[in-house]
Structure 1
Amino acid sequence: MKPVQYDLQALGAFSRDAFVSTLGGIFEHSPWVAEGAWERRPFADIDALHRAMCEAVEAADPSLQLALIDAHPELAGKAAIRGELTTESTREQSGAGLDQCSPKEFAELQALNREYRDAFGFPFILAVRGYDRAGIIEQMRRRVRHDRASELRESLAQIYRIARFRLDDLITH
């Protein structure tokens, strides 16, 4: 089910609290990103809004960026099993078929999640839209061999892709 959609001009007229309340979930459990973008209103288009939000992350202290990365759930991880994902994450993971893993796929995802977290200290993040389970597993296998600095940048790049998908779902065109 698609979320309620908003007109970009209407969003631009929202109070800070209403804007943050509406867009606070675009970046997983990190309403500070929407708050940082609010100052840059009005937005000419979704690209400008997305850019403002990404720039808020880029300008943030590295510890806050890491907290944003850590706010993301593991793919087919414990939060998914317990039903604790946000509505957006649930929709994204189920859209990629992660709620339909075979026992073998699930075991491999769990092992790769552990290996990745052990290697980098944060969860594996992938904008899963457009991927199937096999593609996601392949990405995990490939990226677990990277260095930490590369994965920090890649994680933020994936978060920016996720945010764009979420904005496209939320804002009318």
Structure 2
Amino acid sequence: MTEEKRKRNISEVNSLAYDDFIAIFGNVVEHCALCAAVVWGDRPFRNYGEMQSKFNEFIEQLPLSGKSGVLRLYPDLAGKLAQSNSLTSESTREHASAGLDKMTEEEREKMSKLNTKYREKFGFPFVICARENKKEAILFGLERRLNNSVEVEANTGTNEVKKICNLRLKDLVDEHSVAKL
């Protein structure tokens, strides 16, 4: 595990300089260093749960336009970025855990068509926590969620962003550590 990706205890997290905090946590919400920048200002955290809550609060408190903006930061599942190996390292691992890197041509075609319909309807990509799903469930969810309103889908999508964020945080922080304040 690289220095940047090793698990830290919460006291180490609290002692990180701003630039180091952003370098480590700037992608727990895909391409959204702003989220990490805001959360850095909430230090010191008593424990992992408090830190996790601060990330979730940032996402939750966004207006609909902000939630849509955060969703637009995510790539299409099994889309062009995945096919050209241009995903972030986190997204690459998450896609692989769901089996999206092993789709048949038929599944890839169906996913592409549904992604296009979804993006045209909502203005942002379909977001689901790939680590908690497999490709079949993702395809089913994508098809089903096309029936939602923009507001419902923005909220559903940002709930999925929080799941992704929480799992990424667990990869970086010892969730059982308690700060020595």
In structure 2, runs of 5+ residues without a counterpart are 176-181
Mapped partners of 1:106, 1:43: distance in 2: 42
Any conservation in 1 of the 2:29–2:35 contact (CA below 8 Å)?
Answer: yes
> Where does residue 109 of structure 1 map in the other structure?
111
Report matched runs for 1:121-160 at 5 Å.
121-160=123-162
RMSD: 1.6
Q: Mean alpha-carbon deviation: is it higher for 83-92 or for 45-54?
A: 45-54
Report SS of the residue matched to 1:29: coil
Give the fraction of aligned pairs with identical amino acids, expressed as a percent.
29
> Where does residue 25 of structure 1 map in the other structure?
27
Higher relative contact order (CA 8 A, sep 6+): 2
In the TM superposition, what is the alpha-carbon distance from 1:59 to its structure 2 partner? 3.6
Report matched runs for 1:6-155 at 5 Å.
6-60=8-62, 62-155=64-157
Report SS of the residue matched to 2:93: helix
Report SS of the residue matched to 2:131: coil
Aligned residues: 173
Report SS of the residue matched to 1:129: helix
In the TM superposition, what is the alpha-carbon distance from 1:61 to its structure 2 partner? 5.2
Mapped partners of 2:46, 2:161: distance in 1: 22
TM-score (norm 2): 0.90
In the TM superposition, what is the alpha-carbon distance from 1:39 to its structure 2 partner? 1.5
Amino acid at match of 2:173: I
Mapped partners of 2:159, 2:60: distance in 1: 11
In structure 1, runs of 5+ residues without a counterpart are none
Mapped partners of 1:81, 1:141: distance in 2: 21
**Large movers: runs of 4+ above 4 Å:** none
Amino acid at match of 1:125: V
TM-score (norm 1): 0.94
Mapped partners of 1:11, 1:46: distance in 2: 9
Mapped partners of 1:114, 1:71: distance in 2: 16
Any conservation in 1 of the 2:64–2:154 contact (CA below 8 Å)?
Answer: no
